[in-house]
Amino acid sequence: MKELLNKDVLQLQTSEIRAFNQYAVDNQASLFLTLGEPDFPTPESIKEAAIDSLNRNQTRYSSAQGSLELREAICAFEKKTNRVDYSPEEVMITVGSTEAISTALATLLNPGEEVIILQPAFPLYRQLIQMNRGVCVSIDTSENQFQLSEEMLEAVITPKTKAIIINTPNNPTGTMLDASSLKVIYEAVKKHELFVISDEVYNQLVFTELPKPLSQYTDIKKYIITCQSFSKPYAMTGWRIGYLIADQEFIEEALKIHQYVLSCVNTFIQDAAIAALDYDVKEMLDSYRLRRDYVYDRLRAMGVDVELPDGTFYILPSIKKYGMTSYEFCKQLVLDQGVALIPGSYFEADDYVRISFCVDRNVLEEAMDRLELFLSRLPKAEEQ
């Protein structure tokens, strides 16, 4: 059967994160710090807006681009929070950031064109680039505090380079690209006419000041494609809604793909998204900050090398000194202690493991106790 199918599809991988989570379930793990999903329910005001919309029979097709009311609300929100000016014609409502990134790549790429990603990277990017017949080129930022220098970027740019995907704050590191890294990208966009696909799904979940986004630089604005989501800030992962913001001509082309694949995003969920934009995420953010501080302090006390995340609900400790692959480390931790983390290799960062700290505080405390015990029994690479 398979030999009859599309060879490019056969090359794609199913989600390794989900698969490892299942491995942990199958092996009776009891503490899961695996998935990137808020542990809060969706706020009442958002659910009520969806129910109200259903009661008003908002169950017909919406415009393919998304309801004008939601796109206007997004423009106002982006102006208030990121100080960027966009019109509703420059916004398209998508099925999460996943569809926004996928459609952006499909709109941009001719076969064989290259897209740069920064490692550690969310696995979706490589798969979507491949799916759209592009070539994924990665830059390892792990030796540079997860930041980018001009040399690192210029070393991989070729005449075939079409775009760079950035994700700040980043899944899995939790760090943000600093002003200097963003300047490097800004200069490269101007010099090489590169597009930037800016995956900003965590930019409301930030514990420090957010640097000026690239879309604020009006001279490169037409090269900036912003992908955004309601999933993470508003605990709406299952609602499947996000948006894409870009130059109007880009949106007009992207809309063709979106329209033929999906028609439009669910109408009553778009109404709920309008209510979401009015919801203040501070309470959730404060709770993530407390959990981040707790996990960071515990890891440091265990003698683990780790950077303090600027945002998200992930932290990425280094396991380099234990001389194991990240898969072997995570597998042993499941089997010995029933604690499930995610191997860094899934993010192209085998010296690390990802901890998702958006879980109950008691689970976090117990998991850290067991991790401490596990580490205390592991010989360090230099002792082996």
Ligand X SMILES: Cc1ncc(COP(=O)(O)O)c(C=O)c1O
CB of 13 to ligand X, least distance (A): 16
Residue 173: what are its φ and ψ, rounded to 5°? -80, -30
The count of C-alpha atoms lying within 13 angstroms of the C-alpha of 364, restricted to the half-sphere facing its C-beta, is 23
For residues 107 and 337, which CB has a smaller minimum distance to ligand X in the complex?
107
Which strand (E) or helix (H) includes residue 199? strand 195-199
CB of 108 to ligand X, least distance (A): 17
Q: Taking the chain, what is the end-to-end CA distance rounded to the nearest angstrom?
A: 48
Handedness of CA 84, 42, 102, 163 (dihedral sign): positive
**Which residues, other chains included, contact 374 with Cβ-Cβ below 8 Å and sequence gap of 6+?**
332, 333, 336, 337, 339
Nearest CA-CA partner of 29 in 326, 370, 372, 319: 370
For residues 122 and 279, which CB has a smaller minimum distance to ligand X in the complex?
122
CB of 378 to ligand X, least distance (A): 29
**Which residues, other chains included, contact 381 with Cβ-Cβ below 8 Å and sequence gap of 6+?**
320, 321, 322, 323
For residues 122 and 268, which CB has a smaller minimum distance to ligand X in the complex?
122
Find out whether 102 and 123 touch, Cβ atoms under 8 Å.
no
For residues 186 and 243, which CB has a smaller minimum distance to ligand X in the complex?
243
CB of 4 to ligand X, least distance (A): 31
> Tokens in use for 262?
């999906």
Nearest CA-CA partner of 339 in 358, 313, 319, 365: 365
For residues 88 and 96, which CB has a smaller minimum distance to ligand X in the complex?
96
CB of 171 to ligand X, least distance (A): 4
> Tokens in use for 200?
């900003």
Q: Please, which residues bridge with residue 262 across strands?
A: none
For residues 195 and 322, which CB has a smaller minimum distance to ligand X in the complex?
195
Virtual torsion, Cα 168, 280, 39, 370, nearest 10 deg = 60
Instruction: Measure the CA–CA gap between 81 and 315, rounded to whole angstroms.
Output: 25
For residues 315 and 375, which CB has a smaller minimum distance to ligand X in the complex?
315
For residues 73 and 128, which CB has a smaller minimum distance to ligand X in the complex?
128
For residues 139 and 302, which CB has a smaller minimum distance to ligand X in the complex?
139
Residues in touch with ligand X (CB under 6 A): 36, 96-98, 122, 167, 171, 199, 201, 229, 231, 237, 242
- Give the nearest residue (CB) to ligand X: 96
CB of 119 to ligand X, least distance (A): 13
CB of 190 to ligand X, least distance (A): 26
Strands 339-340 and 314-315 turn out to be unpaired
CB of 241 to ligand X, least distance (A): 8
For residues 39 and 150, which CB has a smaller minimum distance to ligand X in the complex?
39
CB of 168 to ligand X, least distance (A): 10
CB of 100 to ligand X, least distance (A): 8
Residue 78, amino acid? E
Instruction: Give the long-range contacts of residues 279-282, CB within 8 A, separation 24 or more.
Output: 279/43, 279/45, 279/46, 279/234, 281/204, 281/205, 281/233, 281/234
| Residue owning tokens 């006419």 | 193
